[in-house]
């Protein structure tokens, strides 16, 4: 019977249950579980293994560059983001409402850290996330448009629940790229959430996109439902080094 049960678990694609069956039977015996409780125990284990596999797959596909979490974030180093604020972000109400977040500030203040930490928690909650640096995004958009596959690429990209774009504004982009970027933001508008990091305030994005008309069209859509977070202060990378340096000079 055992062999037949395992074969049928395979046929019904309950692959985890094949391995879990022995230990679940043992648990049922030891705890005197009813038939229903045993079934519930085994199916719950199957489902939680499936959820974890999906999370691992989404994490791999998300392209997050490294793992940074809110637990590693030193809230005392800056005053723009509080623990309470992060607790609110982690409810993902904003994502369900298709709102955006824009982290702005000088280098090293934790913009990418926060964006990655948000992406990581979103994946744990079952959302599909895609991380791009602006450079990689530009390459991917151009490649798709050269192959005349930009519309397809847009549709594929818009399947993610959250798109993170890191480092807008570091390098100026050409007019053709600005137009592709506008099409992306337009496609995502009120459909998906976008998290952006930038070393420039949005008022200065005109210089990055080289065209004020297209920049206002981009900002119009991005900012309509968005929270802008301006982080000020010294680079965390220099924490503890500024004083050491002045002593050694």
- Summarize as ranges the residues that interact with ligand ADP (CB under 6 A): 68, 72-74, 77-78, 107-113, 197, 236-237
Q: Which is nearer to Mg ion, 46 or 167 (CB)?
A: 167
Q: Which is nearer to ligand ADP, 5 or 201 (CB)?
A: 201
Residue 235 CA neighbour count, 13 Å, CB half:
9
Residue nearest to ligand ADP (CB): 110
Whole-angstrom Cα distance, residue 185 to residue 49? 35
Decide which of ligand ADP, Mg ion, none touches 110; Cβ closer than 5 to 8 Å per partner kind.
ligand ADP
User: Smallest distance, Å, CB 232 to ligand ADP?
Assistant: 11
Whole-angstrom Cα distance, residue 97 to residue 227? 12
Q: Which is nearer to ligand ADP, 24 or 62 (CB)?
A: 62
User: Smallest distance, Å, CB 73 to ligand ADP?
Assistant: 5
Q: Which is nearer to ligand ADP, 3 or 240 (CB)?
A: 240
Q: Which is nearer to ligand ADP, 58 or 78 (CB)?
A: 78
Among 24, 112, 133, 198, binds Mg ion (CB under 5 A): 112
User: Smallest distance, Å, CB 65 to ligand ADP?
Assistant: 10
Decide which of ligand ADP, Mg ion, none touches 237; Cβ closer than 5 to 8 Å per partner kind.
ligand ADP
The token pair at 30 is 């030891």
User: Smallest distance, Å, CB 244 to ligand ADP?
Assistant: 17
Whole-angstrom Cα distance, residue 163 to residue 119? 9
- Sign of the Cα torsion 195, 198, 201, 204 reads negative
User: Smallest distance, Å, CB 51 to ligand ADP?
Assistant: 28
User: Smallest distance, Å, CB 75 to ligand ADP?
Assistant: 7
Beta bridge partners of 198: 104, 168
> Dihedral angle at the C-alpha atoms of 218, 202, 234, 117, nearest 10 degrees?
-30
How far apart, in Å, do the first and last CA atoms of the chain sit? Answer: 80
Q: Which is nearer to ligand ADP, 110 or 218 (CB)?
A: 110
Count CB atoms within 10 A of the CB of residue 160: 21
173 and 181 Cβ atoms separated by less than 8 Å: yes
CA 103 to chain centre: 14
Whole-angstrom Cα distance, residue 115 to residue 129? 11
**Residues making contact with Mg ion (CB under 5 A):** 112
């Amino acid at each position: 019977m055992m062999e037949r049960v395992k074969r049928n678990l395979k046929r019904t694609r309950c692959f985890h249950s094949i391995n879990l069956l022995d230990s679940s039977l043992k648990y049922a015996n030891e705890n005197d579980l009813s038939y229903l409780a045993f079934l519930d125990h085994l199916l719950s284990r199957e489902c939680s293994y499936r959820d974890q596999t999906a999370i691992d797959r989404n994490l791999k596909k998300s392209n997050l560059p490294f793992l940074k979490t809110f637990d590693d974030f030193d809230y005392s180093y800056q005053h723009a983001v509080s623990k309470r604020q992060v607790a609110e972000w982690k409810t993902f109400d904003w994502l369900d409402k298709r709102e955006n977040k824009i982290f702005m500030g000088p280098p090293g203040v934790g913009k990418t850290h926060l964006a990655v930490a948000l992406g990581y928690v979103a994946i744990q909650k079952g959302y599909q996330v895609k991380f791009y640096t602006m450079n990689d995004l530009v390459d991917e958009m151009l490649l798709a448009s050269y192959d005349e596959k930009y519309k397809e690429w847009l549709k594929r990209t818009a399947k993610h629940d959250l798109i993170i774009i890191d480092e807008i504004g570091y390098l100026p982009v050409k007019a053709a790229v600005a137009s592709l970027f506008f099409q992306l933001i337009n496609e995502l508008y009120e459909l998906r959430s976008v998290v952006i990091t930038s070393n420039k305030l949005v008022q200065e994005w005109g210089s990055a996109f080289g065209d004020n008309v297209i920049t206002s069209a981009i900002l119009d859509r991005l900012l309509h439902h968005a929270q802008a977070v301006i982080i000020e202060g010294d680079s965390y990378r220099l924490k503890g080094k500024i004083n050491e340096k002045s002593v050694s000079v």
